[in-house]
Amino acid sequence: MKSECYPFVNLPLPYAYNALEPYIDEKTMRLHHDRHLQTYINNLNALLKENPQLQNYTPDQLICISGELPCGLRTEIRNNAGGVFNHRFFFAGLKKAPSGCPSGAFETAIGNCYGSFECFCDELKKAALSVFGSGYAWVVEECGKIGIVTTPNQDTPKQYRLLAVDVWEHAYYLKHYNKRADYIDGLMNVIDWGIVSERYEKIHCGKRR
């Protein structure tokens, strides 16, 4: 879709800035979306302005081809296309509480891989806490199985992505200071398991990425 390519626009959040209160505060959401994500969009637009051969790629496609780019461009594209894709994916995976439970094939896969939703959530929290410095925890799918992985910086996992959890300090510092665990506990109330279940369902229909 053309609108997903250069020049990139910071699309509005799919909910109000205060929709995730009290778990994620309005001020954090405004800064995170309007400044942090906006900066990645501005940087990516500036990079692609200088590199018109890349202007027809989506952020996700830019991440995929970044490894083939010349050294000087590779890291900048990976960081900024990752910053755009990861933030959009993260925000789209959240909703106003109560945010529901896993359903359908995703619910079954969680049971098969983790025993219970509670055990799965514990593992997700552990992974989010284990990220050293800035990065993300992810729920991914690989070969029919659900997995939990982490990435540093704005890197994006190679597997099929189901959920991103942003653990950069800017995601929580205003409300929780340095207490990432408190942020993660709150975040678990606003994860949109319905959309995560839908993302998993799409794999079963063969519509990958």
Chain centroid to CA 55 = 22
State the Cα–Cα distance between residues 120 and 55, nearest whole angstrom.
Answer: 39
The neighbouring-strand residues paired with 176 are none
Q: Which of residues 166 and 192 has its CB atom nearest to Mn ion in the complex? A: 166
From 29, 45, 117, select the one nearest 77 (Cα to Cα): 45
Q: In the bound complex, which residue of the shown chain has the CB atom lying closest to Mn ion?
A: 166
State the Cα–Cα distance between residues 200 and 113, nearest whole angstrom.
Answer: 14
Q: Min. distance of Cβ 36 from Mn ion in angstroms?
A: 5
Q: Looking at 8-16, 141-149, 163-171, 181-189, which segment touches Mn ion (CB under 5 A)?
A: 163-171
**The only residue of 31, 66, 148, 166 in contact with Mn ion, by rule CB under 5 A:** 166
Q: Min. distance of Cβ 199 from Mn ion in angstroms?
A: 20
Judged by CB under 5 A, does residue 91 bind Mn ion?
Answer: no
**The only residue of 17, 168, 183, 193 in contact with Mn ion, by rule CB under 5 A:** 168
Which residues 6+ apart lie within 8 Å of 75 measured at CB?
A: none
| Strands laid side by side in the 145-152 sheet | 145-152, 135-142, 160-166
Q: Which of residues 54 and 164 has its CB atom nearest to Mn ion in the complex? A: 164
Give the position of tokens 């997995």: 147
Q: Which of residues 38 and 61 has its CB atom nearest to Mn ion in the complex? A: 38
Q: Looking at 109-117, 134-142, 151-159, 160-168, which segment touches Mn ion (CB under 5 A)?
A: 160-168
**E strand map for the chain:** 135-142, 145-152, 160-166
Q: How many residues bind Mn ion (CB under 5 A)?
A: 2
Q: Looking at 17-25, 67-75, 108-116, 159-167, which segment touches Mn ion (CB under 5 A)?
A: 159-167
Q: Looking at 46-54, 101-109, 139-147, 168-176, which segment touches Mn ion (CB under 5 A)?
A: 168-176
Which residues 6+ apart lie within 8 Å of 84 measured at CB?
A: 8, 37, 40, 41, 44, 59
Judged by CB under 5 A, does residue 85 bind Mn ion?
Answer: no
Footprint of Mn ion on this chain (CB under 5 A)? 166, 168
